[in-house]
Amino acid sequence: MSDRRTIRDVDVKGKRVLVRVDFNVPLDRGKVADDTRIRAALPTIQYLMEQGARVILMSHLGRPKGKVQKELRLTPVAERLSGLLERSVAMAVDCVGAEVETAVDRLRPGDVLLLGNLRFHPGEEANDPEFVSRLASLGEVYVNDAFGTAHRAHASTEGVAHHLPAVAGFLMEKELNFLSKALESPEHPFVAILGGAKISDKIGVVDNLLGKVDALLIGGGMANTFLKAQGHQVGQSLVEEESLPLARELLDRAGRKLILPMDVAVADRFDAEAQSKIVSVEEVPAEWRILDIGPVTVEHFAQELYMAKTVVWNGTMGVAEFPRFAAGTQAIIEMLAESQATTIVGGGETAAAVQQVGLVEKMTHVSTGGGASLELLEGKVLPGVAALADR
């Protein structure tokens, strides 16, 4: 990542700096329910303010599909950001148009303006050239600090970067440094933990990581498909039948590197209050389903994690939103919190689980991007990163 230019490499004094941030945060009754993503962007925003830039922030919120939806306006975000910065953040009526241009013209050095929801316009997700040039005309420098959307080639994440000097913000730099270093020059033993529901979402990740890691620990729903591929009966568990041949191929290729659950928590139905018990993977009852890894598996995973110098984790070990089936995920979190290794947690549900337990500070890095961190782990080039200037 060090080959990408950052905000340290450009003179922003007095300039209109158009910053793509990821303020796609949960709202509850018109207030921000979790401000993690807003806080993550503060170092970049504060640096630009201190340098005397005129800061124009742009973000999407939710999935309005190109139409204005009142409940997805960014006004509550502007309020929360004002509180965090301890100064007033102006809220624009839209993200393009004459009124927005007037609001931008009024900005003084150090001022901050938040544009309206980008996705109220179909041109954002379509990366429409006309919408791109209207957005780009608002700024003189472009900064991408939205790692969480860097895997999307949208107007604000990719298009604008071709019209203005384009550099990375501090959050983007940090995300790429941690994830790229883990993949390019990890300290060994290097252990990856993969979970989540589907194997199809992570085939590319498994494929890319097999050549790099010393051990690959598999939990979550995706483990069921591997277990079935090994010939185990998995009852009513979630299995991707179409991925079975691929799972067999990966198992053959991985040899002893790929480590699957030995025991599991099973339930008589998919429900937080379901009857549950721990069984060996050989003994899953026909009418039951696997919803978590078991204690023997946790111990087995612990042996690998205990020796690890680098750990990358993406995907929960079970149905972590049901407290009864969160034990496996919880155990991994606690192990990593005590580990001396470099611990990198992929975004999405995994980051949320760590957040919930209050152990974010104990990890080396918790990513703000679910899909983006997955695509990096897969070895893909992210459009929002590729569009930024090299040093």
202 tagged catalytic: no
Q: Which of 181, 198, 309, 380 is catalytic?
A: 198
Instruction: Determine whether 37 is an active site residue.
Output: yes
Asked if residue 21 lies in contact with residue 81, where contact means CB atoms within 8 angstroms, the answer is: no
Query: With DSSP H G I counted as helix, E B as strand and the rest as coil, what are the percentages for the chain, rounded to 5?
Result: 45, 15, 40
In one-letter notation, the amino acid at residue 165 is P
Selecting among 16, 37, 54, 80, the annotated active-site residue is: 37
The active-site residue, picked from 52, 62, 371, 379, is 371
How far is Cα 142 from Cα 158, in angstroms, rounded to an integer? Answer: 10
d(C-alpha 103, C-alpha 132), whole Å: 19
List 251's β-bridge partners, or say none.
none
198 assigned to active site: yes
Determine the longest span between alpha carbons in the chain, in angstroms: 69
d(CA 190, CA 61): 36
Burial 351-388 (b: 16+ CB within 10 A, else e): bbbbeeeebbebbebbbbbbbbbbbbbbeeebbbbebb
Of the residues 221, 348, 369, 370, only one is catalytic, namely 348
Nearest CA-CA partner of 147 in 388, 390, 391, 318: 388
Please say if 108 is a catalytic residue: no
DSSP codes, 312-367: EEES-SS-TTSGGG-HHHHHHHHHHHH-SSEEEE-STHHHHHHHHHT-GGGSSEE-
> Which of the residues are catalytic?
37, 198, 348, 371
